[in-house]
A and B are shown apart, each in its own frame.
Chain A
Amino acid sequence: MTAQPEASGSAAPERLRAVQARNAPGPRDAIAKRAPRKWSLAWLGLVPFFLFAFAFMLLPTVSIVTGSFQDGQGAFTLVNFAHLFRADILGSYLITIKVSATTALLGGLLGFLIAYAITLGGLPKPFRSFMSTFSGVASNFAGVPLAFAFISTLGRVGFVTVLLRTLFGIDLYGAGFNLYSFWGLSLTYTYFQIPLMVLIITPAIDGMKKEWREAAENLGASALQYWLRVGVPVLLPALLAAFILLFGNAFGAYATAYALTGGLINLVPILIGAQIRGNVLHDSQLGYALAFGMVIVMTLSILAYSWFQKLSSRWVK
């Protein structure tokens, strides 16, 4: 994602040079005449991949966008977008944004502290590769099994719920906690957000030079001053980029929520799923509008992500 803007920038002059070479008169002519034919043949080798990506990735995604501009008969309309501002739909966007932002903040903060502890915390070296393997496994442990794990842990008769009640007399559910509500869902999502954050942010922390901290300390800076004046300004773009990635990750999550709440919380992906399965009011045009709203959120996320990434690469290579 990050290589994209730079690379397309550097491809342009190359193309220009190729055109110039082709148009150049004289002894170069012989080479220039052969070049275009070879070029077009080489492109043929990419046809299968792009055809597949077009048919099963681009076309379906674009069809969602066009579908949201059509009514049931296929005529152009904007009425689907008016539905997006219905109270219930707006509410489901709000709760999805709330869950995504909360888990991105929580997972991002914990993930950052853990990644920082691993990279600069002075822990033994072998521990590092162990933790990165670990994060790989944990960030893949999501969906249905993760939901089951949290039901066994924090459900009504879950391990921790019972432990807290019998050992410490703390009644989680009596205090208003419910695994199948906002906080339960957020704690569950945070499980895959933390390791994802560790994987994303570790390279950025690696790029922070030890000398910076030593220089600051030698000049008499306190830990707080170092963080406020050096650490945070350098890391901020990378942190924001990571936050957005985590946000998008939670926003699009379907399987975990489906298995955990069974649709009790009206997250946007859950609503879209219900529209597709046709077990709610079955207004398929509304489904398109919902999905289109999601496409917009995702597109904004990618744009913001790559912008922050570019800012971050000034400091952290």
Chain B
Amino acid sequence: MSSRRGSRLVFSWIWIALGLVYFFLPLLATFLFSLRAKKGVLSFLAYQHVFADPKFLQTFGFSFEMAILTVIIGLALIVPTAIWIYLKLPRVKPVIEFFTLLPFVIPPIILAFGLIRTYSRPPFAFVSSPLLLVAGYVIISFPYIYKSVDAGLRAMDLRGLTEAAQSLGAGWPTLLFMVIIPNLKTALLSALFLTFAIVIGELTLAVLLAWPAFGPYMALMGRNLAYEPAALAILSFGLTWGAIGLIQAITRGRPGGGSNLGGTH
């Protein structure tokens, strides 16, 4: 019996070790590769090149702005809708869940193609507006935002809070901004970081709608240079790691965290 348990433990560690190697080896390789820009010695030259390139800051800034707009519009759409459904129309919840999960199964390439086809001719010819890109990003982040907000709402006594606030004479704006949203802070922050992690490096929509975003910039670097792309990969991995680490830190021990499934491949 105990030898069986022992062999099970060995089995477990073997697979975990294999998984960790698969995860870390490419990162280690990328990091070492990024240090080899100067011949013969290890240096941070590639990183200096990256930061010295004005295009780096321009494209990163552009993607940053897109991410902010995405977060604002995404939260403005989903937070009131989710609260409304919890309070007034609980039976519609599965429908909303279905709609917010749909982007998981619609590949970004299809979404991009459809957006271009629908909005490149009258009466809705705004394919050249960055807002169309933001709209696409909002759709892509639906699952992440909704999951965070839903978990946050489930963790609080929304009905009780609402009744208490309204019986004390609070109107809807007071209820929303003074009572519910402060209680949703953790969920909103986690939605924010996830959305940022996704939008900053997004490639498909940005390339096909022809915007000078960070994702296409990285891809272009990959075509032309050797060591700088490795540096960019490390930086970008650091950003994702940082964003998700922050989510874990703020949601630690609370329901409403850990909704970090999937990504845009």
Contacts and interface: CB of A to CB of B under 8 A. Distances in A.
Interface in A55-114: 55-57, 59-64, 67, 110, 113-114
A146 B208 CA distance: 20
B177 to A, nearest CB: 17
A11 B258 CA distance: 30
Nearest to B92: A46
Contacts of A53: 99, 102, 139, 142
Contact of A133 (B32, B106, B244, B264): B244
Contacts of A184: none
B223 to A, nearest CB: 7
A153 interface: yes
B45 to A, nearest CB: 16
A47 to B, nearest CB: 9
A3 B94 contact: yes
Contacts of B52: none
Nearest to A131: B16
B118 A149 contact: no
A231 interface: no
A7 interface: yes
Nearest to A153: B29
A113 B15 contact: yes
B8 A121 contact: yes
B218 to A, nearest CB: 4
A61 B115 CA distance: 8
B230 interface: yes
Nearest to B260: A136
Contacts of B118: 59-60, 63
Interface string A175-207: 000000000000001111011101110000000
B180 interface: no
A302 B107 CA distance: 13
Interface string A5-29: 0011001001000000000000000
B107 A298 contact: yes
Name A's interface SS: helix
A52 interface: yes
A57 B103 contact: yes
Contacts of A166: none
Contacts of A3: 94, 97
B116 A276 contact: yes
B262 A159 contact: no
A277 interface: yes
B9 interface: yes
What class of interface size applies to chain A in its complex with B? 35 or more
Contact of A7 (B1, B93, B102, B262): B93
A263 B77 CA distance: 37
A145 B27 CA distance: 10
A293 B136 CA distance: 22
A2 to B, nearest CB: 10
Nearest to B83: A45
B78 A134 contact: no
A148 to B, nearest CB: 4
Contacts of A199: 261
B105 A302 contact: yes
Interface in B214-265: 215, 218-219, 222-223, 229-230, 232-233, 236-237, 240-241, 244-245, 248, 258, 260-265
Contact of A152 (B96, B202, B230): B230
A243 interface: no
A259 B98 contact: no
Contacts of B96: 49
B88 interface: yes
B30 A152 contact: yes
Given A64-B110, A137-B244, A159 B201 contact: no
Given A121-B12, A136-B244, A60 B115 contact: yes
A48 to B, nearest CB: 6
21 contacts: A14-B91, A42-B84, A49-B96, A57-B103, A64-B110, A67-B117, A121-B8, A121-B9, A133-B258, A138-B23, A145-B233, A152-B29, A158-B29, A189-B265, A191-B22, A194-B22, A259-B222, A276-B208, A291-B109, A291-B110, A298-B110
